[in-house]
Amino acid sequence: MEILYVIIGIVLLVALISYVRIHTFLAFLIVTLALGLFLGMKPEQLMKSFQNGIGSTLGSLIPIIALGAMLGKLIGISGAAQQISTKMIEWVGVKHIRWAFMITGFLVGLPLFYSVGFMLLVPIAITVAYRNDLSAVYVSLPLLASLSVTQGYLPPHPAPLFLVKQLNADMGLTLFYGILISIPAILISGALFGATVKGYKTIPNLSFVAPPVDADKLPPAYLCFTTILLPIGLIALGALLPPFLPEGFVKQFFLFTGDATVSLSITVLVSLFSLGILKHHKKTEINQHFIEAVKEVSSIILIFGGAGALKQILTDGGVSQIIATQLQQSHLNPYILGWAIAAIIRVCVGSSTVSGITTAGFIAPIMLTSPVNPNLMVLSIGAGSMMFSHVNDTGFWLFKEYFQLSLKNTIKTWSVMDTLVSITGLLGVLALSLIL
């Protein structure tokens, strides 16, 4: 019965947004509270879960979204995005720009959280598409496929890292196998499927496209690329170096500067001078642009809060446990079983991280009695956690709002892309299991 309630709730959410056309946050509010009551949650418990869902989601995302918006605006008004896009087109040509973004997305996605990579790179992809009269979805989908794959498959991202520890997998082997299956997953979901979305000509959110800057006033290319790479480098150092360092100031320093919020803060402060003040932009003008940048993402923040509340209600209402318990009694191939549990929880709850972490607890007992490679199981669950992102996933709304697509077209592009990431990941795991 609980699963039926969830299905009805998701259908109602889609109807309220698409046909009744009320604000997305208000639709989330209505559906989340109603669903919590139907799942048997007491009003006091329901409101606590509702508040915790919003708080836990926005607590980590608001600083990243706000700082990312500020950095994106500064990169735009300074001409840095124009310089980067110009250089990329010079190096690979407009014809192959999608491949450049796909490779960039994978390299950037290795150390960066998805939301940070999205905020840094998507405005550049939108700018390139707009300047060259290309579909922004067509240019950006390979980039987003790469970011999705690294988030779902590869440590040190939160869910894969948790799975490595819980299932006693080897970090290095998991990362190696993960990269092997990432390549076909990105090619299929990003390059091949991405080539079919040329027809989506909807104008993206032009607040992320800066007005053109005269060529002689553009900042130097090295400075532009350094600005983009600075937070990536800080986060990478924070993830890679501390395990090899003794306890002390140096280790704590890299852990601190490697935090996504801290690294973005440092980058905004550095670029404030390098791309702003030193390039003769007035401080009052820069501050006004920062205010505008935060205003532009305020609606996205509300939507994220609503999606987080729905996710928490489904988790606290016991939906994910019911699904996982029923599937645990199945006689499926262990890798398919791990993928299926994660996939169904992901579809119902919306969070790939929650899906991966929840699935670990149900798969661990099975692994004690099955000859399963723990490294491949981590990847199988990770692939399942990327299955069919839709209206209860914050990433879905981020994509929709940036690219200004309808709900239907967001499902036909974003959701299908994530589904292909999930399925090709499972096929890659099964193929490797025949060899190892």
pLDDT in tens, 42-89: 989 999 999 988 888 788 778 887 888 888 788 877 888 778 878 888
Residue 221 phi/psi, 5-degree rounding, is -60, -40
Contacts (Cβ under 8 Å, ≥6 apart) of 92: 99, 100
Q: Where are the alpha helices (DSSP H) in 167-318?
A: 171-186, 221-240, 249-257, 260-271, 283-296, 298-316
CB atoms within 10 A of CB 257: 17
Distance CA 108, CA 111 (A): 6
Q: Kindly report which listed range (130-139, 177-186, 236-245) carries the lowest average pLDDT score.
A: 236-245
Q: DSSP readout, 116-170?
A: HHHHHHHHHHHHHHHHTT--HHHHHHHHHHHHHHHHHH-TTSHHHHHHHHHTT--
> Is the peptide bond preceding residue 156 cis, with omega within 30 degrees of 0?
yes
Residue 350 backbone class (left: φ over 0; alpha: ψ -120 to 50; beta: rest): left
Q: Give the 3-state secondary structure percentages of the chain, helix then strand then coil, rounded to 5.
A: 80, 0, 20
Distance CA 94, CA 236 (A): 30
Judged against a pLDDT cut of 70, whether residue 280 lies above it is answered with no
Judged against a pLDDT cut of 90, whether residue 236 lies above it is answered with no
What average pLDDT does this structure show over 110-122?
Answer: 79
Residue 57 phi/psi, 5-degree rounding, is -75, -50
> Which pLDDT score, from 0 to 100, does residue 328 have?
61
> Which pLDDT score, from 0 to 100, does residue 327 have?
60
Only one residue has tokens 């940036």, namely: 402
Q: Kindly report which listed range (73-77, 125-129, 366-370) carries the lowest average pLDDT score.
A: 366-370
> Which pLDDT score, from 0 to 100, does residue 369 have?
65
What average pLDDT does this structure show over 123-127?
Answer: 89
Q: What residue type is assigned to position 296 of the chain?
A: E
What average pLDDT does this structure show over 397-426?
Answer: 94
Distance CA 110, CA 146 (A): 9
Average pLDDT, the chain: 85
Distance CA 182, CA 251 (A): 31
> Which pLDDT score, from 0 to 100, does residue 21 have?
78
